Structure 1
Amino acid sequence: MNAFDPITLANRRAKGKRPQFLDDPAVERVLSIAVAVATELAVLRERVDTIERLLEKNGSLVRADIENFRDPQAHVERSQWQKEYVARIFRMLQQDREALEDADESSMEAIAAELAAGDGAAQA
Structure 2
Amino acid sequence: MIDHIKLASSKSKGKRPYFHEDPAVERVLNITMAIAGELAVMRERMDTIERLLEKKGLVSQEEIDNYVPESKEEETQRQEWHSEYISRVLRIVQQEMEELENPDKSIADIANDIDKM
Q: Which TM-score bucket, shorter chain as reference?
A: 0.3 to 0.5
TM-score, normalised to structure 1, is 0.42
Larger Rg: 1
Q: Which has the higher helix share?
A: 1
TM-score (norm 2): 0.44
